[in-house]
């Protein structure tokens, strides 16, 4: 697996997302669009980004009854999504439906479901407030096993749980948001630098605001890509 940046294009319009993608394309391995764009401009943004020559990660965070998730995943695959997220909390049957739907929609093109484990905005205290008495690490470990059993290509987890995923489900692609080159005060609770995440076994690093909100997004992407390359172990 080529380690690198998936740039999170959490921008207000399709035009600004495509412009940003074009600006940083030389330093990233793919593009992510999240709920804001999927529920705004819609999934037709996916082929516009695919046309730039990089895979697109549709962060749809699917979570519904299996039949509905299968249809949604198939539609995203038809639009050209390389990866689609689905919440592991939806259960193994739902994840299996997502896998089936995405592969049907993508046809011969590679496509895989990424199981969302514990959001990086959560910590142990916030999980306890909603009645979950497990630590993030223990919860991610259980969820990674479910994702692997369902045929997911990978999981999305905090960088702090990367080694947990590697231990319990070593065949899964490890995708991590919550990457911060320097300390920032935002809505991410469990973060890590790019080099630290790579050293813990990250495959794809989802990075948004440190690039897209920088004064020089292309320069920021280049600097982080260089940090990842320097930190990556020799394969």
Distance, CA of 8 to CA of 186 (rounded, Å): 15
Given the residues 32, 54, 61, 138, select the one marked as catalytic.
Answer: 61
Local structure of 52: helix, strand or coil: coil
**By C-alpha distance, which of 203, 215, 217 is closest to 6?**
203
Contacts of 50 (CB under 8 A, 6+ apart): 56, 80
Comparing CA positions, the residue from 155, 146, 64 lying closest to residue 113 is 155
| Helices (H), ranges, 80-132 | 92-106, 124-129
CA distance 191 to 57: 21
Is position 229 annotated as part of the catalytic site?
Answer: no
Name which of 146, 42, 132, 36 is nearest 99 in CA terms: 146
- For residue 204, what are its two tokens? 């794809």
Task: Please give the positions annotated as active site.
Answer: 61
């Amino acid at each position: 697996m080529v380690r690198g940046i998936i740039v999170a294009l959490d921008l207000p319009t399709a035009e600004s997302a495509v412009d940003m993608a074009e600006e940083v394309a030389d330093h990233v391995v793919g593009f992510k669009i999240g709920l804001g764009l999927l529920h705004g401009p819609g999934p037709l943004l996916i082929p516009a980004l695919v046309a730039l020559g990089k895979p697109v990660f549709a962060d749809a965070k699917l979570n519904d009854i299996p039949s509905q998730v299968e249809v949604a995943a198939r539609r995203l695959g038809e639009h050209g999504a390389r990866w689609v997220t689905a919440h592991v909390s939806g259960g193994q049957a739902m994840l299996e439906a997502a896998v089936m739907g995405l592969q049907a929609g993508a046809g011969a093109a590679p496509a895989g479901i990424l199981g969302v484990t514990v959001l990086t905005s959560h910590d142990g205290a916030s999980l306890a407030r909603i009645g979950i008495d497990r630590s993030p690490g223990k919860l991610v470990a259980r969820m990674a096993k479910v994702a692997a059993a369902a045929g997911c290509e990978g999981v999305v987890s905090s960088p702090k749980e990367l080694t947990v995923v590697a231990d319990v489900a070593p065949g899964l692609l490890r995708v991590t948001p919550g990457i911060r080159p320097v300390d920032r005060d935002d809505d991410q609770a469990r973060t890590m630098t790019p080099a630290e995440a790579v050293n813990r076994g990250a495959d794809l690093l989802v990075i948004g605001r440190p690039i897209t909100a920088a004064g020089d997004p292309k320069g920021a992407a280049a600097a982080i890509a260089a940090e990842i390359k320097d930190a990556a172990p020799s394969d």
